[in-house]
Amino acid sequence: MHHFQYRNGTLHAEEIGVPELAEKYGTPLYVYSAATLRRHFQAFDSAFNGLKHMTCYSVKANSNLSVLRLLAEMGAGMDIVSGGELYRALKAGVPASKIVYSGVGKKAQEIREALEADILMFNVESMAELERINKVAKSMGKVARVGFRINPDVDPKTHPYISTGMKKNKFGLDIEHSLKAYQRAKEMDAVEPVGMDCHIGSQLTTIEPFLEALDKLIAFYNRLKDMGISISYLDLGGGLGITYNEEEPPHPAEFGKALSEKLQELPLTVIFEPGRVISGNAGIMVTEVVYTKKTPSRDFVIVDAAMNDLIRPSLYDSYHRIAEVQQNGRDELTVDVVGPICESGDFLARDREMPAVHEGELLAVFSAGAYGFTMSSNYNSRRRACELLVDGDTVTVARARESYEDLVRGE
């Protein structure tokens, strides 16, 4: 459910017509719906009311401060993967006690910053990282709370680029190496093992891989108890999918019921790290048709948004629904929707059936609220888009469009 709906043939973001936003703020333009963000967070978080839990939004999905503040006001914690994301989370008012630090390549300075902030815990992904955290914490006279990211070798049946829980992936430690890591952590002066972590991938459309991984984690938890290691947190990551096209991902309530049945007897606080499922369908990207082009082999719709603005179609061959902002009732054509960048890989859709459009018309690219702006770049010296947060009939410029001066600042 989202709050981008047509009224009399014109797409609205909550109470405001999208053409009005494009006229005032220009295109390409990201538009986020506050009501949708609130609805999605509440639907996810409430699904686990039967468990002692913490919902830590995955900052990498959409790291805009306005979005983070809105979620923090609803009680969200944050899952971070860099020093920059730590800075953003703290700036947005997220208590450090609700911040979990994941990622395979934490640098010493990033570890120091997190220890100074006194975050809840690090999710450790290698023995080398464990040694570094202990060394940094010891030099600061602190004790670092850690969990280990366990790789359960479960196939999440998703795109290989966003599969993270199999033996061939770079993430985490396998079961046997994890046992050695916990034993080593137990022996260290400046580390306290308090949790365990598992994240098997993104855009999962069935709960079976989660449950398969969870069975392995419960067995592992019991082995830790036998070693005299008592943990307090079980971090199950994120990854629940959304509908881009015809996917039918499980509702969070179904996910919550299945997990509660397995976990309610364990004395653990369960941590979740949803990202896409909160923000994905809470955002659209608005783009203007610059030209239409007909060739002997195909028809092109050339728009002012490009792979630097939304890279998912080029990177993952991902589907995003594209529709006219003002419905025109014309016959459908099969077209490629492409951008201005000098790459054949610069496309938003290929072989897409959609109503014929003319120069100057607006298109909306749906499901763009996650991994849209956060993955954007200045390739071809293109200015990054403006981001808006719409709340009813109120518009916040969540991020101003970059200027040409911004492009060369620091050079």
User: Residues annotated in the binding site, as ranges?
Assistant: 239, 273-276, 312, 316, 343, 371
DSSP for 105-159, written as a single string: ---HHHHHHHHHHT-SEEEE-SHHHHHHHHHHHHHHT--EEEEEEB-------S-
Locate 249 and state its tokens: 């991902």
Alpha helices in 264-296 (DSSP H): 276-279
Rounded CA gap, 199 and 152, in Å? 9
User: Which segments are annotated as binding site for substrate?
Assistant: 276, 312, 316, 343, 371
What angle do the packed helices 208-226 and 175-187 form, to 10 degrees?
A: 40
Q: Is 386 a catalytic residue?
A: no
| DSSP one-letter code for 374 | G
Q: In sequence order, what are the residues at sequence separation of 6 or more whose Cβ sits closer than 8 angstroms to the Cβ of residue 161?
A: 315, 316
Q: How crowded is residue 126: how many other Cβ atoms within 10 Å of its Cβ?
A: 19
Nearest by Cα to 270 from 138, 362, 147:
147
Cis bond before residue 313 (omega within 30° of 0)? no
CA angle 384, 111, 194 (to 5 degrees): 115
What angle do the packed helices 208-226 and 252-263 form, to 10 degrees?
A: 30
Rounded CA gap, 311 and 313, in Å? 6
Cβ atoms of residues 48 and 40 within 8 Å: no
Q: In sequence order, what are the residues at sequence separation of 6 or more whose Cβ sits closer than 8 angstroms to the Cβ of residue 39?
A: 1, 3
Active-site residues: which are they? Answer: 342
